[in-house]
Amino acid sequence: MYRHHDPLAPLLVLAFGGHVIAVERRTGKVVWRQQHYEPYTARLLFPPGRVLLAYHKDLVCLAYANGQVLWQTAVPTPTDSIVVDGDEIFFGAVGEAACVDVNTGALLWHHPFPGMGTTAVALGVPGNVAQIDRAR
């Protein structure tokens, strides 16, 4: 499960304004930078050894150690709810769900669930859940 974390992970990763920056957690020294312009705010996830940037309908996977782009893929549905579990990235929104391979960025499946509504999607596997909280 991706939620394993190394309490001594050496880098803090920040994403804002089209920039992705990794700094040493104790000194703040910049280790690497990437630019990825996207009009939407990135959500960060950390599969082992990687940084996953989830934008509205775009996923970008970087190497944690050096920021190298490993893959980038457009996806068929927004990534409002997203979890990484094993080798899969599960995400969904507006009554749709999809899955991408964490190693390659290849789309494994997509379900639009026609006729079932277009509301927020909560999704998960045991111990790894994404819930959407929206103000009414």
User: Which pTM value belongs to this model?
Assistant: 0.87
Backbone angles phi, psi at 77, to 5 degrees: -140, 150
Q: Is residue 22 part of a domain?
A: yes
Predicted local distance difference test score (pLDDT) of residue 119: 84
Predicted local distance difference test score (pLDDT) of residue 58: 95
100: exposed, middle or buried (C-beta count within 10 Å: 0-12, 13-18, 19+)? buried
Residue 134 reports pLDDT greater than 80: no
CATH code assigned at 45: 2.40.128.630
Q: Is residue 134 part of a domain?
A: no
1: exposed, middle or buried (C-beta count within 10 Å: 0-12, 13-18, 19+)? exposed
CB-based burial, 22-43: b 16+ in 10 Å, e otherwise: bbeeeeeeebbebebeeeeebb
Q: Is residue 5 part of a domain?
A: no
Residue 32 reports pLDDT greater than 60: yes
Give the residue numbers spanning the domain of 72: 11-126
Q: Is residue 17 part of a domain?
A: yes
19's CB contacts (< 8 A; 6+ apart) are 33, 34, 35, 36
Cα Rg, the chain, nearest whole Å: 15
Residue 7 reports pLDDT greater than 70: no
pLDDT digit string (tens) for 78-127? 999 999 999 999 999 999 999 999 999 999 999 999 888 888 889 999 99
Q: How many domains does the chain have?
A: 1
Residue 2 reports pLDDT greater than 50: no
Sheet holding 96-101, edge to edge: 81-85, 88-93, 96-101, 107-111
Q: Could you give the percent of the chain with pLDDT greater than 90?
A: 74
Q: Provide the residue type at 35 as one letter.
A: Q
Predicted local distance difference test score (pLDDT) of residue 41: 87
